[in-house]
Structure 1
Amino acid sequence: MSFQTIASESEAPNKLTLSDNGVLRRTEYHQPSAWGDYFLSNLSNILEEDSVLKKLEELKEAARSMFVAAEKHSDKLCLIDSIQCLGLSYHFEDEINEILDQIQNSAHVDEEDEEDLYIIALKFRLLRQQGFPVSCEIFNKFTTESGDFKESITKDEKGLLSLYEASHLRMKGESIMDEALEFTTTQLEAMAMDSTSPFSQEAKYALKWPIYKTLSRFMTRHYISLYHNNPTKNDNNILLTFAKLDYNSLQKLYQRELGELSRWWNDSKLKEKLPFARDRVVESYIWALGIYYEPKYSSARTLLAKIIALITLIDDMYDCYGTLEELQLFTNTIGRWDMNCIEELPNYMKVLYEAILKIYEGTIQDMCMDNNIPYAFDYAKEGIIRQCKLYMVEAKWFNEDYVPTIEEYMKVSATSIGLYAVASIAFLSIGNIVSEEIFQWVQGNPMLHKASEVASRLVNDIVSHKFGQERCHVTCSIECYMEQYGVSKEVAIAELKKQVDEARKEIIEDYIKRGKFPRVIHDDGPNFARVTDFYYKERDGFTFANTETKHLIALILTDPMPI
């Protein structure tokens, strides 16, 4: 199910226990929060000093002047790439869009750039990232008549890195981009092992964390360090200083938001009243931060984190603790959306039901009215009701020991990953730029969201499969595929990885076709998939957050960049 699901080898398996009212329940041990009250106890010095704010404004204007100074297309592309990788693009959205639009519509190509693999691949990536259509045929000049990439480009390590990053923005039917990814991956693997290569460390990082698939703030942290330590990158002290100060300034904002979030979490007493569930409020915040990192979305981010934390509790209740009869009662009750129905529920469900209605009927409804989008509340409410109904189907599968077909499984469990419930909250909280047409669009599960759900679900399942088998969890896509086609686990995983690749191609394709809605609306699906990739890179880092996950989150939230 969503935002979750698997136990680590070091965790106790789930077991049957007798509750206070004599009900036999499945329970399991979850690691306690990796953060405790850290963000409540470290609030004394997180306001930004006026001198720093003044310096940030000065550096921002100095950086803005670089757009004017850059004359050649290649200089402009390199500047945009640096600004995006260093996490500064939100300051210059208009400038970046204007330049990329000009480059997209210009027939002019600087003569010295025509054969420059680095620049051509960079242009391709930046345009597609921004949603501009650009043909993959621009890479034909680097291939032989048989379609293979020329041996000569293997000596261009900088160009190979650029082509590798560009190849992650491939669409269906683009065989040259499929070949580019395979070819450059092989080259980067060799580069990463070559200690004499100036790009060895960069190649090693890119193989694990390609730019397009990586959580924005995590990527920013890496590239600031890369620019600081690499003389070939650190040729613009203004941008580097700006990036460091900006990173630390946003980090303080995030810490203030987490202080507010932690206070809400503690005041709710949910972790004490629902001890069977995961306490993952900081990890939920990272999920929200991955969708919207910009400072102007502070309120949206905090609200979204609260909803994701609640969905995690709901998930654990359906996944393990509740009996089938109780879960059906809860599903029916939340569908009626009436606080007067609360007395019908068991005590532990009353706590969760009350918390859900309190935040929806309070904060969320108020935000809808403040943003003059009252209709948005019904979509948000539908999102959480739909989430519970999907969990109910999965709970029935488990209780009936039913293994669905892979198609039946994905129809339910790809959706239960939670993107619709998250998007309905995200959209209503970003202000009055949204319309009812946007909510109708997301309600219809467009390809951009459907593909993001498929990629997220399968990435989750592939990483989580081993430990899910050891526990009493609903079957996952791997078991469904094995059962339906009579193949081994290895064959099933290989096939599902292909489906992940296909889903990511569909994300790119639909993103480029996005039409008239603001770009921020279309970013939530791909960003959701990026957070999934962050948490489920090698293991379930959301559930088992005391491992590498804590270190990665600390880089984003608590460890400032040295100036």
Structure 2
Amino acid sequence: MSKPVIVTSSLASLLPDQTPSNDEFARRSANYHPTLWGDHFLSYADSENDEGEYKRHEQLKQEVVRTLESATATLNQQLELIDAIKRLGVSYHFERQIEAAMQLMREKISECIDDDTEDLHIVALRFRLLRQHGHCAASDVFKKFTNMDGKFEESLRNDIQGILSLYEAAHLRVHGEDILEEALEFTTTQLNSMKSMNLSNSLAKKINSSLNTPIQMTMTRLGSREFISIYQQDESHHEFLLKFAILDFNLLQKMHQKELSDITRWWKTWDIADKLPFTRDRVVECYFWILGVLHEPEYSGARKILTKIISLASTMDDIYDIFGTLDELQILNDAIDRWDTTAPNELPSSMQLFYHAVQDVYAELKEELLKEEDNKLYCFNYAKSGIQQLAKAYFQEAVWLNNGYVPNYDEYMDNALISGGYLMLILNAFACMGSVVTQEAFNWALSDPLIIKAAKIICRLTDDIMTCELEQERGELASAVFCYMNQYGVTQERAVSHLRNQITCAWKDINEDFLCQINVPRPLLMVILNFSRMINLLYHDEDSFSNSKKLKGLVASLLVDPVAASE
């Protein structure tokens, strides 16, 4: 690098005492714990469903359809039903009916603003559902609940359901919506104070769940698992809908278990965990990650391909971060860039194995694309370019580490928004989504639209905040936290505070662009939103991907334990 590294006093104490020798650097270790799952999911290879379950599933589904389309239902009843369907995780069965209802509400939006509804819960619920479906809904509807100073009326403190609904609605805010900023502050304070009150079990669970992770930031599948037990305790629940949600969850879980069994067998066939013992053996967690992005039955093939890709991307990250010498990484990087069909002989056998695994997975993707009716081979080139860009970004970070160079924050972020991996994952997810994706969609994604840039920021900064201290122990100071400290001469606490504000702004960008991208198919936008939700989950309090012990219970709740009728 041509520019000298200037280390501020606030960062100097974080630098290692001495530069490791070439031998030490060449084969470092992060001491990641082994897999927590072993061969567990191989046992699901022959999982089968009862035909009677499918028949009952269809009967219950039709009952939900009839209720959704009922002409006698009031607007409030329809809102409550749609919200329950979405939160129970079964809305993918009723997209046509729900969208028709949302469209009707949008057409009557002026009536919604001018009506005299004083029910905060209904007003907030309607607002949230409209925005979640990409329909514009003005935040002016909440002015009726504020006083002359723009503060929310103190009398609302007793409206627990209204406060909770307003809190959830506030997380759909965009830039400049001061009333929703005020709403978030007001409702957060009120909900925290309610935790000590004598509430019903159902309401207490709702409050704790929302404060931990608002609906807008929640992994759909995990949220539905939790909401089933909440909904069951709600005295006003629809019994047929509850039964349908439980049956649907368990049927879909069996499909997911079979997929993970196939993926586990693939992972063991390549023997990456033994041949590359320095890397994170997290294939189950990788499947969980992808499950948070695409959980619907029609994306079974996509989940399997994407899990393989993200597992190998994690392996590649560890190769560049802690294992390869700079010379080896240059050879690997050049081979990926040329897309050689065989691994260079100069590489260690473990890195050759990794390279062949990458080539094999992308050959599988190409083969699947050739099977599609329309010519989708162009998807392969976009997917391949994603992994090539990721490798280049990883290599840049390896060069910085090898040279002991700490880039400034802006220089770091230019590269880090690629090395975070989310652009690669978005491109590869699009490639696996069949007829919904077009070449125009890929070109749009590569134009760095606001929603994708925001997702990359959320991914990179959330990751860096949670991993910077562990990386510091390995001598790695090229992270958003330390680069910001170095450039602006601030403490780690101040740097983290600034980065968290950036994450908050990025969520507003996602909300805003979700309303603006009318020409982009909704399933593609949902992929971007869901990737953002997953990074929020995996790096909420710590790096739960690398240290996956905390994640084990969540994985089990979706992929091991079926929902019992008494939950």
Q: Is the 8 A contact 1:482 1:488 kept in 2?
A: yes
Q: Is the 8 A contact 1:87 1:243 kept in 2?
A: yes
Q: Which amino acid aligns with 1:62?
A: E
Q: Which amino acid aligns with 1:195?
A: N
- More deviation, 457-466/506-515: 457-466
Report the counterpart of residue 351 of structure 1 in structure 2.
353
Report the counterpart of residue 436 of structure 2 in structure 1.
433
Residue segments in structure 2 that go unaligned for 5+ positions in a row: 1-18
Aligned length: 542
Report the counterpart of residue 270 of structure 2 in structure 1.
268
Label 1:24 to 1:328 Cα distance change in 2 as closer, same or farther (>3 A).
closer
Q: Is the 8 A contact 1:330 1:345 kept in 2?
A: yes
Report the counterpart of residue 334 of structure 2 in structure 1.
332
The alpha carbon displacement at 1:456 in A equals 1.6
The alpha carbon displacement at 1:207 in A equals 0.5
SS state at 1:144 partner: coil
Q: How many Å separate the matches in 2 of 1:468 and 1:207?
A: 30
Report the counterpart of residue 203 of structure 1 in structure 2.
207
Q: Is the 8 A contact 2:459 2:532 kept in 1?
A: yes
Report the counterpart of residue 218 of structure 1 in structure 2.
222
Which of 471, 475, 478 aligns to 2:474? It is: 471
Q: How many Å separate the matches in 2 of 1:385 and 1:110?
A: 50
Matched, 1:136 2:108: no
Q: Is the 8 A contact 1:73 1:110 kept in 2?
A: no
Report the counterpart of residue 196 of structure 2 in structure 1.
193
Label 1:420 to 1:111 Cα distance change in 2 as closer, same or farther (>3 A).
closer
SS state at 2:435 partner: coil
> 5 Å matches for 1:49-60?
49-60=50-61
Label 1:33 to 1:513 Cα distance change in 2 as closer, same or farther (>3 A).
same
RMSD over aligned Cα, in angstroms?
Answer: 1.9
Report the counterpart of residue 77 of structure 1 in structure 2.
79
SS state at 2:434 partner: coil
Report the counterpart of residue 418 of structure 2 in structure 1.
415
Q: How many Å separate the matches in 2 of 1:17 and 1:260?
A: 42
* Moved segments of 4+, more than 3 Å: 15-19, 107-113, 195-198
Q: Which amino acid aligns with 2:401?
A: F
Report the counterpart of residue 302 of structure 2 in structure 1.
300
Q: How many Å separate the matches in 2 of 1:151 and 1:219?
A: 31
Q: Is the 8 A contact 1:271 1:277 kept in 2?
A: yes
Q: Is the 8 A contact 1:72 1:110 kept in 2?
A: no
Q: Deviations over 1:163-189 (max 9, x none)?
A: 001111110111111111111111111
Which of 145, 148, 153 aligns to 1:150? It is: 153
Q: How many Å separate the matches in 1 of 2:115 and 2:385?
A: 56
The alpha carbon displacement at 1:96 in A equals 0.7
Q: How many Å separate the matches in 2 of 1:326 and 1:130?
A: 48
Which of 448, 452, 462 aligns to 1:449? It is: 452
The alpha carbon displacement at 1:16 in A equals 7.5
Q: Which amino acid aligns with 1:262?
A: T
Q: Is the 8 A contact 2:219 2:537 kept in 1?
A: yes
Q: Is the 8 A contact 2:26 2:324 kept in 1?
A: no
Q: TM-score normalized by structure 2?
A: 0.92
SS state at 1:355 partner: helix
Report the counterpart of residue 366 of structure 2 in structure 1.
365
Q: Is the 8 A contact 1:136 1:177 kept in 2?
A: yes
- More deviation, 528-537/62-71: 62-71
Q: Is the 8 A contact 2:409 2:484 kept in 1?
A: yes
SS state at 1:375 partner: helix
Q: Is the 8 A contact 2:365 2:380 kept in 1?
A: yes
Q: Is the 8 A contact 1:17 1:27 kept in 2?
A: no
Label 1:178 to 1:54 Cα distance change in 2 as closer, same or farther (>3 A).
same
- More deviation, 316-325/195-204: 195-204
Q: How many Å separate the matches in 2 of 1:513 and 1:183?
A: 28
SS state at 1:58 partner: helix
Label 1:441 to 1:231 Cα distance change in 2 as closer, same or farther (>3 A).
closer
Q: TM-score normalized by structure 1?
A: 0.93
Q: Matched residues, percent identical?
A: 39
Q: How many Å separate the matches in 2 of 1:71 and 1:340?
A: 63
SS state at 1:525 partner: helix
SS state at 1:247 partner: helix
Q: Which amino acid aligns with 1:141?
A: K
SS state at 2:461 partner: helix
Label 1:193 to 1:412 Cα distance change in 2 as closer, same or farther (>3 A).
farther
